[in-house]
């Protein structure tokens, strides 16, 4: 009897303590911003006048983790970089991980209500919710990563951060063209239903032909629909193997997990002693797919982190570029283990091509 | 029944296990957060304020509650007849697809015809998907646990096919796919005449479906406890052989209960689509059908208990963003807490032994699934 009474009392006391502390404190802590106080009208003029410490930046992820080693993480690192540059206190920089695609609007709204000045939303899927929120809150700056804004439908306080995938692909193709000994290279791609994938492919082929006009290129798109095309590593592996059987010795994997499957298949062949290389996509896949390291010479990267940091800086300084699209830079990732195996003249040529792409003297031919 | 106990005592007894289960789940959740170096006080405070601390918080809680109530009610109603309906997820999807089909077609109908028609379609889709396992059970003895799980897959693949955007190699798109959506697999928006109107518009986004849902709760309560059909359903659930002996048409009652349960889950899909999403895309399906099982158990399979349990689940969902925002605790902890609640309500013996509760013979004990044998 005593025992039961004790346990019940103990539990209830604990719960009561939790409840009391949960109810009592909201006035005090800095982390609980006053609800609906300045819902939204924090921004434009305030951003310029107020001290840097009043500036707040929030990020809403697509369904998935903040440390996904891909878009969410790169964008978040950009936010953190900007926060460091601007000297923002920790509680002014927050993220919300989206659990369910129905919650995009609710999660964005959390930041709006807390008076955040800049809200970064990551991923194509948040495009519609971001546009709605930007229209409803004209004083808040929105950065939509990978959200193409259709010309003519721009919203002044929303910038879509997009990338020239064809240029990244061109660099990868040039590298592949220099590396191949058999004269045959391959690309294992997500679906051509998604324009950036097509841009990667066209750029890759143009870049390879630029350095080696008579090269043979085996490019294969995933045949399935959009929901399968990027999550089919078995198909990626099988396609990569087929390409290697046909003599390809450099393989570009561009298509999410599907592409990763191709990279791993090539890595296995490289470990077995075959002289084959692979090139990753989007981020430096040296870190995201360690299993690919035996073959991974580089990756065709979209530099999300510095772009997000730059845009936040622009918003803070009152130099917001205005509605529409902001084209972020692309680059090849470091060569890592292959640093010594890549001849200096190849590196020099890649640098020259990079300059040519930047100043317009070299064209990828995509979209023309 | 407890003839001598006052209604208050009976209510207290009914609430005892669910409330203790909730307390245990929250405490264990707090322990988990402490282990990972998070601050549970901050997290729970954020949860509480996210769900109830503002007008929009309340609005979100109420909006999220609506489908939880109906799927919970679906599972609870089946439990009353001793049936374990794991198929609420599939019935929810079929309701969604049927509602969307009516919602995007029939341009030019007035609201007072189009909207009820679209809602009825959702109800019908769910009923159809509930009837199949019911009929299979009485004709072949196939257990509804197995058949409903299988039908969940069928429904999910069927729903995916209807909105399939087609492939790059010229595969045919699904019949409900929106051609303007490009490579995205989704339906067009349902016509305005089939959308549930707002009670409070954006940013609150509370629609009249919630009122409809509460009316359905009262209707189901009345049906279960005040009509002959309800009496037969409950009798079949408590003692199959006795009800057969008493002349109840057991097979008919089982099929009817499954149709009813399916209809409730289907209506949930219809209301969620016509009220909130306004279209269907495969990633919208979520876990609301499976959460119905936890909600039904937590609500002690009583319609009003289900409403309370759905309020809790709606609040957990609605407060999750604010909890992350204030405390940095990942929203996964919400799912952990929900799973712990399920564990504790599904195994009341654990709660009883922890709190040294005596098992009173008159303990309010909800009817859940009975035996694994068929009705024969």
CA distance A272 to chain B (A): 34
Residues of A in contact with B49 (CB under 8 A): 26, 32, 35
Interface residue B175 vs chain A (CB under 8 A): no
* Res. B18: pLDDT tops 60: yes
CB contacts under 8 A, A 198-237 vs B, are 221-227
* Res. B376: pLDDT tops 50: no
Q: What is the pLDDT of residue A2?
A: 44
Q: Which of A14, A18, A225 sits opposite B165 (nearest CB)?
A: A225
SS3 state at B325: helix
Which residues fall within 8 angstroms of residue B206, CB to CB, at 6 or more apart?
A: B59, B62, B63, B198, B199, B200
Nearest residue on chain B to A37, judged by CA atoms?
B54
Interface residue A24 vs chain B (CB under 8 A): no
Question: Cα–Cα distance between B40 and B11 in angstroms, integer?
Answer: 31
Is position B3 within any domain?
no
Helices (H), A25-99: 44-49, 71-86
Q: What is the pLDDT of residue B294?
A: 93
Select the more confidently predicted residue: B330 or B130.
B130
SS3 state at B364: coil
CB contacts under 8 A, A 108-147 vs B, are 109-111, 113-114, 136
Residue among B237, B231, B272 nearest B126 (CA): B272
Nearest residue on chain B to A61, judged by CA atoms?
B321
Question: Cα–Cα distance between B314 and B217 in angstroms, integer?
Answer: 16
Q: Do B203 and A63 touch (CB under 8 A)?
A: no
CA triplet A256, A258, A263: central angle to 5 degrees? 95
Query: Each residue's pLDDT tens digit in chain A (368 positions)?
Result: 444 454 444 454 554 554 445 444 443 333 333 333 333 344 444 444 445 568 999 999 987 788 877 788 899 999 999 999 999 998 899 999 988 878 898 899 999 999 999 999 998 888 889 999 999 999 999 999 989 898 889 999 999 999 999 999 999 999 999 999 999 999 999 888 778 899 999 999 999 999 999 999 999 999 887 777 888 999 999 999 999 999 999 999 998 889 999 999 999 999 999 999 999 999 899 998 999 999 999 999 999 999 999 999 999 999 999 889 999 999 999 999 999 999 999 999 999 999 999 999 999 988 76
CA distance B169 to chain A (A): 6
* Res. B49: pLDDT tops 50: yes
CA distance B286 to chain A (A): 7
CA distance B184 to chain A (A): 7
Is position B12 within any domain?
no
Residues of A in contact with B55 (CB under 8 A): 36
Q: Do A22 and B277 touch (CB under 8 A)?
A: no
Residue identified by tokens 């057969």 is: B244
Q: What is the pLDDT of residue B256?
A: 97
Residues of B in contact with A113 (CB under 8 A): 54, 56
Q: What is the CATH classification number for the domain harbouring B157?
A: 1.10.3470
Nearest residue on chain A to B318, judged by CA atoms?
A106
Instruction: Please give the backbone phi and psi of residue A301, each rounded to the nearest 5 degrees, phi first.
Output: -100, 145
Q: What are the tens digits of pLDDT across the range B187-239?
A: 999 999 999 999 998 778 899 999 999 999 999 999 999 999 999 999 999 98
- Note whether B83 and B374 are within 8 A (CB): no
Q: What is the pLDDT of residue A27?
A: 38
Domain ranges of chain A: 33-147, 165-302+330-359
Q: Do B45 and A102 touch (CB under 8 A)?
A: no
* Residue B106 structural domain: 39-165+173-328
Beta bridge partners of B200: B206
Q: Which of A21, A100, A105 sits opposite B41 (nearest CB)?
A: A21
Determine whether A45 is exposed, middle or buried from the number of CB atoms within 10 Å of its CB (0-12, 13-18, 19+): exposed
CB contacts under 8 A, A 146-205 vs B, are 191-194
Is position B26 within any domain?
no
Is position B316 within any domain?
yes
Is position B13 within any domain?
no
Residues of B in contact with A109 (CB under 8 A): 56, 203
Select the more confidently predicted residue: B324 or A195.
B324
Q: Do A32 and B355 touch (CB under 8 A)?
A: no
Q: What ipTM score was computed for the predicted complex, to two decimals?
A: 0.73
Interface residue A14 vs chain B (CB under 8 A): yes
In the predicted model, what is the mean pLDDT of chain B? 90
Select the more confidently predicted residue: B252 or A10.
B252
3-state helix, strand, coil in chain A (%, to 5): 50, 15, 35
CA distance B154 to chain A (A): 18
Q: Which of B277, B321, B355 sits opposite A7 (nearest CB)?
A: B355
Interface residue B282 vs chain A (CB under 8 A): yes
Q: Do B27 and A26 touch (CB under 8 A)?
A: no
Nearest residue on chain B to A114, judged by CA atoms?
B325
Q: What is the pLDDT of residue A131?
A: 94
Helices (H), B84-143: 88-104, 111-140
Is position B18 within any domain?
no
Specify the DSSP class assigned to residue A37: S
Q: Do A165-302+330-359 and A33-147 fall under one CATH topology?
A: yes
Is position B360 within any domain?
no
Is position B341 within any domain?
no
Looking at domain A33-147, which CATH architecture does it have? 3-Layer(aba) Sandwich (3.40)
Residue identified by tokens 């609506």 is: B66
CB contacts under 8 A, B 45-64 vs A, are 45-46, 48-50, 53-56, 60
Q: Which of A339-353, B75-89, B177-191 has the weakest average pLDDT? A: B177-191
CB contacts under 8 A, B 99-158 vs A, are none
Determine whether B357 is exposed, middle or buried from the number of CB atoms within 10 Å of its CB (0-12, 13-18, 19+): middle
Residues of A in contact with B164 (CB under 8 A): 225
CATH topology of domain A165-302+330-359: Rossmann fold (3.40.50)
Mean per-residue pLDDT for B251-264? 97
Instruction: Determine which helix (DSSP H) or strand (DSSP E) holds B29, and give its type and residue range.
Output: helix B7-35
Question: Cα–Cα distance between B51 and B72 in angstroms, integer?
Answer: 20
Q: What is the pLDDT of residue A46?
A: 42
- Note whether A4 and A10 are within 8 A (CB): no
Interface residue B180 vs chain A (CB under 8 A): no
Q: Do B168 and A15 touch (CB under 8 A)?
A: no
The DSSP line for B158-180 is: HHHHHT----TT-PPPPTT--GG
* Own/partner pairs, A105-110, CB within 8 angstroms, 24+ separation: A105/A129, A105/A132, A105/A133, A105/B203, A106/B60, A106/B318, A106/B321, A107/A60, A107/B321, A108/A60, A108/A133, A109/A133, A109/B56, A109/B203, A110/A58, A110/B50, A110/B321, A110/B322, A110/B325
SS3 state at B367: coil
Say how many domains are in chain B.
1
Nearest residue on chain A to B287, judged by CA atoms?
A100
Q: What is the pLDDT of residue A25?
A: 42
């Amino acid at each position: 009897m005593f025992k039961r009474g004790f346990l019940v009392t103990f539990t209830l006391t604990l719960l009561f303590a939790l409840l009391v502390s949960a109810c009592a404190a909201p006035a005090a802590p800095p982390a609980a911003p006053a609800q609906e106080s300045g819902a939204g009208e924090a921004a434009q003029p305030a951003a310029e006048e107020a001290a840097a410490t009043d500036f707040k930046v929030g990020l809403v992820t697509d369904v998935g983790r903040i440390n996904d080693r891909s878009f969410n993480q790169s964008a978040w690192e950009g936010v953190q970089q900007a926060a460091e540059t601007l000297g923002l206190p920790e509680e002014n920089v927050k993220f919300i991980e989206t659990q369910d695609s129905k919650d995009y609007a609710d999660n964005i709204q959390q930041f709006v209500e807390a008076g955040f000045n800049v809200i970064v939303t990551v991923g194509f899927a948040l495009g519609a919710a971001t546009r709605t929120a930007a229209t409803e809150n004209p004083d808040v700056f929105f950065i939509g990563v990978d959200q193409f804004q259709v010309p003519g439908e721009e919203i002044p306080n929303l910038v879509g951060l997009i990338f020239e995938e064809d240029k990244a692909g061109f660099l990868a193709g040039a590298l592949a063209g220099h590396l191949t000994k058999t004269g045959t290279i391959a690309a294992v791609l997500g679906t051509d239903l998604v324009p950036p994938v097509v841009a990667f492919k066209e750029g890759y082929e143009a870049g390879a032909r630029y350095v080696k006009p008579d090269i043979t290129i085996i490019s294969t798109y995933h045949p399935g629909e959009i929901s399968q095309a990027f999550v089919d590593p078995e198909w990626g592996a099988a396609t990569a193997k087929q390409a290697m059987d046909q003599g390809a010795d450099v393989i570009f994997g561009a298509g999410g997990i599907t592409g990763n499957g191709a990279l791993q298949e090539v890595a296995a062949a490289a470990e077995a002693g075959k002289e084959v290389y692979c090139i990753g996509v989007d981020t430096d896949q040296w870190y995201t797919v360690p299993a690919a390291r035996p073959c991974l010479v580089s990756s065709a990267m979209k530099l999300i982190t510095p772009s997000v940091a730059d845009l936040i800086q622009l918003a803070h300084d009152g130099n917001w570029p205005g509605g529409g699209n902001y084209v972020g830079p692309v680059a090849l990732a470091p060569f890592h283990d292959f640093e010594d195996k890549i001849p200096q003249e190849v590196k020099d040529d890649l640098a020259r091509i990079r300059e040519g792409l930047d100043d317009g003297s070299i064209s990828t031919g995509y979209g023309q | 029944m407890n003839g001598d106990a006052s209604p208050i005592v009976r209510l207290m007894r009914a609430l005892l296990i669910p409330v203790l289960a909730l307390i245990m789940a929250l405490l264990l959740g707090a322990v988990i957060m402490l282990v990972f170096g998070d601050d549970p006080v901050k997290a729970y405070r954020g949860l509480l304020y996210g769900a109830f601390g503002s007008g929009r918080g309340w609005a979100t809680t109420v909006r999220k509650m609506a489908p939880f109530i109906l799927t919970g009610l679906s599972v609870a109603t089946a439990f009353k007849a001793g049936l374990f309906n794991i198929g609420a997820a599939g019935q929810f999807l079929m309701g969604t697809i049927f509602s969307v089909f009516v919602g995007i077609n029939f341009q030019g109908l007035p609201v007072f015809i189009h909207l009820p028609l679209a809602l009825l379609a959702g109800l019908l889709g769910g009923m159809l998907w509930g009837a199949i396992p019911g009929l299979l059970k009485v004709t072949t003895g196939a257990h509804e646990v197995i058949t409903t799980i299988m039908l969940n897959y069928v429904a999910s693949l069927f729903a995916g096919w209807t909105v399939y955007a087609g492939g790059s190699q010229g595969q045919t798109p699904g019949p409900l796919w929106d051609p303007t959506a490009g490579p995205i697999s989704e339906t067009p928006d349902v016509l305005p005449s089939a959308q549930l109107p707002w009670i409070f518009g954006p940013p609150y986004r509370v629609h009249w479906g919630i009122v409809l849902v509460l009316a359905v709760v009262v209707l189901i309560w009345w049906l279960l406890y005040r009509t002959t059909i309800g009496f037969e359903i409950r009798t079949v659930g408590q003692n199959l052989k006795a009800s057969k002996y008493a002349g109840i048409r057991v097979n008919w009652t089982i099929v009817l209960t499954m149709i009813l349960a399916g209809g409730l889950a289907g209506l949930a899909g219809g209301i969620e689509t016509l009220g909130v999403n306004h279209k269907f895309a495969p990633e919208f399906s979520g876990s609301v059908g499976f959460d119905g099982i936890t909600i039904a158990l937590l609500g002690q399979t009583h319609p009003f208990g289900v409403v309370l349990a759905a309020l809790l689940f709606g609040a957990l969902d609605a407060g999750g963003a604010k909890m992350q925002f204030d405390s940095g605790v990942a929203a996964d902890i919400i799912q952990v807490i929900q799973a712990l609640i399920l564990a504790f309500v599904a195994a009341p013996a654990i709660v009883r032994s922890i709190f040294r509760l005596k098992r009173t013979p008159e303990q309010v004990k909800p009817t859940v699934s009975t035996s694994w044998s068929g009705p024969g």
